[in-house]
A and B are shown apart, each in its own frame.
Chain A
Amino acid sequence: MSLYDLIQKNSNLFFIDAQTGHAVSIKSFHQSLPIDDRQGLVFIYNDNLIGSVEVLLNFMNSRFTIVLLSAQLHPSFKQNLEALYTPYYIYDPGRTAIFGYNTIATSLSIQLMKRKTLPEYYIHSNIKMLLSTSGTTGSPKFVKLSDDNLVQNAWSILDYMPIQSDDVVPLNVPVVFVYGLSIFTTNCMAAGTIVCTNNDMLQPAFWSDFTKYNCSTIGGVPYVYEMLHRIGFFRKNHPSLRYMTQTGGILNQALRNEIVKYISTYNKQFFAQYGQTEAAGRMAYLPQEDLLTKAASIGQPIKNGRFEIDEQTSELIYYGPNVFGGYANTPDDLSSWHETNKLYTGDVARQDEDGYYYITGRIKRIIKLFGTRLNLDEVELILKNALGGQTVVCTGINDKYLLVSHVNDQLEEATIKKVLQEKLQINPVSVQVKYIPTMPLTPNGKIDYSTLMMHA
């Protein structure tokens, strides 16, 4: 069964447009937009609003290959990508006309742009979706995913995620990120209501909708949880909330303790997950009961997946039916599909005696300070824990210095150096501390290391 058919099978599913409060049945989105019956690319500049959802569902139910992009992508990046890939259709709620395209009003509220001249390249029939690996830089490099990749990923998540048929799910994670896409696909298959919104958690409207619609769940990367902590989310019960999900890195100890306290006080659930775009979503999750005992672990592989650690490099290798079919850098790359179940994650990992996996770093996030191998992710976590969960980011400068960037102008340089010396025997002279007013983040909320390094 295709992903689209599985979603339509959940026939009691409703989508709420948070802007108007209107609820629309999944049935009314079935073939709601007249689109051509052919192969080709469609660029969907997604904004998580109900229009984007309707367009996405209509193209899922077609022979088109969907390229999911952020509506907020810089206009020049949009132009470059469109010039390179010459998509047959474009959906961009932010533009009313595009050169070389006819504007078609496909419904009262939705306009599609259709290319005037037909693109001339072949797309392998396995390629259902193209996702950007960064989502931010406008890079032409995409991950090729099949419908089966997406379905297998969704089934594996539904195996452990406590999704119920009356759940109300806010789309607070952008669908253009594979994590947001997983939230979207699994809940479309099994939940009751999806709240389409582009409000963020620092806007009162998000929380009034959260209460109004009795939202059951919330998801985010570690930074989102740091933000929730900052705004006092964990100080009171949110009665409709049943479970929280997290991905995109390991939470620091102080924050994890806070969350454990919250979920045990108010009887909630929390799922830490590990995934990658190349795996169409998830690869591992940490069961709730292990949250304290196996704190920093990514847990166990999802159903139908397994891990292996490379003996030489300690790189984590994943095997599963959700592994992608290769990258596309140009339209020419769309003619092929590399069938495999093996994925080199680029993460360094270890496994404990109970079979739990721990990410100990990224292959590139390693520096050598005075000949000593230093894992920057570990250093970061150690510093964060010692400093009570503050945001600090470690990078290397030519294997000569460890640079610690932080956003707290009250934080003393000496405090940081002392922790590093005490815990890791790092000489203060090889440490540079830099206060920056704001931490550069990628749009999916992860630390933007490349920007940090550029300004080092």
Chain B
Amino acid sequence: MHTQQQVEEVIAKAFGITPNDITDELEYQSIPEWDSVSHLVLVTELETAYGISIEMEDVLTMGSVAKVKELLKKYNVEQVA
């Protein structure tokens, strides 16, 4: 079982920002720290943290923090509040 907080920490690490700045509404390309480069870092970080392999189509759907969390559910990464 993983907490939402852990997910946010992984995301924050990928973007090099603090977990406090992570909200569900945060979108791809809405901050300089979340660009094409860090997006792929995020993919790698999530794969490492949860032992999953994210498909191409899914890499493209990760357009916001909320969508990232939704995607993790699809990969059977359970998250509790």
Q: Does A371 contact B (CB under 8 A)?
A: no
Evaluate whether A230 and B40 lie within 8 angstroms (CB atoms) in the complex, with A202-B28, A410-B48 already known: yes
Neighbouring A residues of B37 by C-beta, 8 Å: 223, 438-439, 441
- Of chain B, the residue at the smallest CB distance from A207 is B60
Chain A residue with Cβ nearest B48: A410
Shortest Cβ distance from residue A135 to the other chain B in the assembled complex, whole angstroms:
15
Q: Total contacts A to B, CB within 8 angstroms? A: 48
If A227-B36, A438-B16 touch, whether A203 touches B28 (CB-CB below 8 Å) is: yes
**Residue numbers in B under 8 Å from A230 (CB-CB):** 40, 43, 59
Number of interface residues of B (CB under 8 A): 21
A227 lies within 8 A of B56 (CB) = no
Q: Which residues on the B side are within 8 Å of A266 (C-beta)?
A: none
Are the C-beta atoms of B56 and A233 separated by less than 8 Å?
Answer: yes
Task: Tell me, in angstroms, the Cα distance from A131 to B28 when the chains sit together.
Answer: 29
Contacts of A292 in B (CB 8 A): none
Complex: chain A residue closest to B55, CB-CB: A232
Q: Is B29 an interface residue (CB 8 A)?
A: yes
B71 on the interface (CB 8 Å rule)?
Answer: no
The interface bits of chain B over 43-81 (1 if a CB of A lies within 8 angstroms of the residue's CB, else 0) are: 110001000000110011101000000000000000000
Q: Which A residues from 383 to 419 make CB contacts under 8 A with B?
A: 407-410
Kindly state whether residue B14 has any CB partner on chain A within 8 Å. Answer: yes
Contact B39 A202 (CB under 8 A): yes
Q: Which of B1-51 contact A (CB under 8 A)?
A: 13-16, 28-29, 36-41, 43-44, 48
Q: Tell me whether A204 is interfacial, beta carbon within 8 Å.
A: yes
**A437: chain B residues within 8 A (beta carbon):** 13-16, 38, 41
Cβ of A231 and Cβ of B60 under 8 Å apart? yes
Measured between alpha carbons, how far is A188 from B56 in the docked complex, in Å?
32
Please give, as numbers and ranges, the residues of chain B lying within 8 Å of A203 by CB-CB distance.
Answer: 28-29, 60, 63
Interface pair B40/A204, CB less than 8 Å apart: no
| A200 contacts B by Cβ under 8 Å | yes
Contact A200 B36 (CB under 8 A): yes
Chain A residues closer than 8 Å to B16, beta-carbon distance: 437-438
Residues in A neighbouring B48, C-beta threshold 8 A: 409-410
Q: How far is the CA of A230 from the CA of B54 in the complex (A)?
A: 10
Question: Within 8 Å CB of A410, what residues of B?
Answer: 48
Q: Does the CB pair A438–B60 fall under 8 Å?
A: no
Closest residue of chain A to B59 (Cβ to Cβ) is: A231
**Bound form: Cα–Cα A200–B60 in Å:** 10
Task: Tell me how far the C-beta of A219 lies from the nearest C-beta in chain B, rounded to whole angstroms.
Answer: 15
Task: Check A201 for interface membership: any CB of B closer than 8 A.
Answer: yes
How far apart sit A437 and B45, CA to CA, in the bound complex (Å)?
A: 10
A235 engages B56 (CB within 8 Å): yes
Q: A441–B35 Cα gap in the complex (Å)?
A: 11
Residues of A within 8 A of B55 (CB): 232
Contact in complex: B13, A202 (CB < 8 Å): no
* Bound-complex Cα distance A168 to B73 (A): 38
CB distance from B34 to the nearest CB of A (A): 10
Chain A residues within an 8 Å CB radius of B43:
230
A439 vs B44: C-alpha distance when bound (angstroms): 14
- Which residues of B sit under 8 angstroms from A204, Cβ to Cβ? 60-61, 63
Distance to closest chain A CB from B2 (angstroms): 19
Contacts of A441 in B (CB 8 A): 37
* Distance of B40 from chain A, by nearest CB (Å): 6
By a CB distance below 8 angstroms, the chain A residues around B59 are 202, 230-232
Query: A203–B61 Cα gap in the complex (Å)?
Result: 7
Q: How far is the CA of A230 from the CA of B44 in the complex (A)?
A: 10
Q: Is the CB of A232 within 8 A of B28?
A: no
Partner of B29, one of A200, A232, A438, A439: A200
Distance of A230 Cα from B37 Cα, bound (Å) = 11
Closest Cβ of chain A to B13, distance in Å, is: 7
Most buried by A among B39, B40, B59: B40
Contacting residues, chain B, for A439 (C-beta < 8 A): 37
If the complex has contacts A233-B56, A235-B56, A437-B16, are A407 and B63 also in contact, measured as CB distance less than 8 A?
A: no
A438 touches B36 (CB 8 A): no
Q: A438 to B37, alpha carbons, bound, how many Å?
A: 7
Q: How far is the CA of A199 from the CA of B29 in the complex (A)?
A: 10
Q: Give the nearest-CB partner of A201 in chain B.
A: B36
CB contact between A227 and one of B28, B29, B40, B61 (< 8 Å): that residue = B40
Which of B28, B41, B60, B61 contacts A407 (CB under 8 A)?
B41
Closest 7 CB pairs of A and B: A232-B56, A231-B56, A204-B60, A438-B38, A231-B59, A202-B36, A437-B16
21 contacting pairs across A/B (C-beta < 8 A): A200-B29, A200-B36, A202-B28, A202-B36, A202-B40, A202-B59, A203-B29, A204-B60, A204-B61, A204-B63, A230-B40, A230-B59, A232-B56, A233-B56, A235-B56, A410-B48, A437-B13, A437-B38, A437-B41, A438-B41, A439-B37
Q: Known pairs A407-B41, A438-B38, A438-B41. 4 more at Cβ < 8 A? A: A202-B36, A202-B60, A203-B60, A409-B48
